[in-house]
Amino acid sequence: MATIGVLHPGAMGAAVGAALAQAGHEVLWVAAGRSAATASRARAAGLTDAGSLDALLRSSAVVLSICPPDAAASVAEAAAGFDGIYVDANAISPQRAAEIAHLVGPAYVDGGIVGPPPQRPGTTRLYLSGDPGPARAVAALFDGTALEARVLDGHGATAASALKMAYAAWTKGSAALLLAAERAAAALGVHDALHEEWARSQPELEARLAAAGASAAAKGWRWVGEMREIAATFEAAGQPGGFHRAAADVFAAFPRPAGDEPVPAS
């Protein structure tokens, strides 16, 4: 059993931490600077407050960075000097992952999570890439848990981030396009006619639109950074970045829901 640090227990980090804790690992987090919502998720997940980032880094064999994509680089900078395995599991471009790998050193493992916060087996995968030894050691931590860890052997050091970007390019990019199409139709006075036509020729779109609207209302503000990471990924891969810069604009129109703002933990 290992001691593992989670930076930080958001919706995904807390669920990943809970999976590790249920498997018998000691899972640490740091309350300092985090909100009451994060503190309550960490408690519910059975995680232990290390008291400080330094203490977490001294005690942990593995650190998992699971935070907003915009914060991935600063979380890695704050962990500089950590001598265990550092996993960045955020939705970031392969270029940003390479920058973080450079900062962290040889014990960097790249990660990308596909699926919802894992509660039961079969829903969620943690893809891993990089040096096969550390990547396999990280995957082994999740044996028997609700999170399926898969090492992408032989695909390059930042393959996990590349896969996450390509996957989310479609799921979230197409959600943004659907929302924008419906809003454009409403602005142009053809909202009802569009829905009637969809009912006849694209009947699956009503359910997709409802799901896209619900997800964007809850999490759209958080996806702005992820869409920009995908735009940068596309451009580096010779594809147009404009799709996902536009998707970032669509999601930026969804404010952070009331009550979801960070309140410092007391």
Ligand X SMILES: NC(=O)c1ccc[n+]([C@@H]2O[C@H](COP(=O)([O-])OP(=O)(O)OC[C@H]3O[C@@H](n4cnc5c(N)ncnc54)[C@H](OP(=O)(O)O)[C@@H]3O)[C@@H](O)[C@H]2O)c1
Residue numbers at the binding site for ligand X (CB under 6 A): 8-13, 34-35, 37-38, 66-69, 71, 74-75, 90-91, 113, 116-117, 222, 226, 262
Comparison of 183 and 256: residue with beta carbon closer to ligand X: 256
- SS3 at position 67: coil
| 79 within 8 A of 53, measured Cβ to Cβ | yes
Q: To the nearest whole angstrom, how small is the minimum distance from the Cβ of residue 200 to ligand X?
A: 33
CA atoms within 13 A on the CB side of 3: 13
Q: To the nearest whole angstrom, how small is the minimum distance from the Cβ of residue 31 to ligand X?
A: 9
Q: To the nearest whole angstrom, how small is the minimum distance from the Cβ of residue 118 to ligand X?
A: 10
Q: To the nearest whole angstrom, how small is the minimum distance from the Cβ of residue 237 to ligand X?
A: 19
Comparison of 124 and 198: residue with beta carbon closer to ligand X: 124
Comparison of 91 and 159: residue with beta carbon closer to ligand X: 91
Q: To the nearest whole angstrom, how small is the minimum distance from the Cβ of residue 11 to ligand X?
A: 4
Write a three-state SS string for 182-238: HHHHHHCCCHHHHHHHHHHHCCCHHHHHHHHHHHHHHHHHHHHHHHHHHHHHHHHCC
Q: Which of 79, 236, 155 is nearest to 228 (CA)?
A: 236
Q: To the nearest whole angstrom, how small is the minimum distance from the Cβ of residue 52 to ligand X?
A: 15
Nearest residue to ligand X by CB is 10
In this structure, how many other beta carbons lie within 10 angstroms of the beta carbon of residue 232? 19
Comparison of 193 and 263: residue with beta carbon closer to ligand X: 263
Q: Which of 234, 250, 230, 256 is nearest to 176 (CA)?
A: 250
Q: To the nearest whole angstrom, how small is the minimum distance from the Cβ of residue 216 to ligand X?
A: 13
In this structure, how many other beta carbons lie within 10 angstroms of the beta carbon of residue 263? 12
The one-letter amino acid code at 110 reads D
Q: Which of 105, 79, 115, 69 is nearest to 221 (CA)?
A: 69
- SS3 at position 35: strand
Comparison of 240 and 262: residue with beta carbon closer to ligand X: 262
Comparison of 163 and 182: residue with beta carbon closer to ligand X: 163
Residue 227: exposed, middle, or buried by beta-carbon count in 10 A (0-12, 13-18, 19+)? buried
Comparison of 91 and 146: residue with beta carbon closer to ligand X: 91
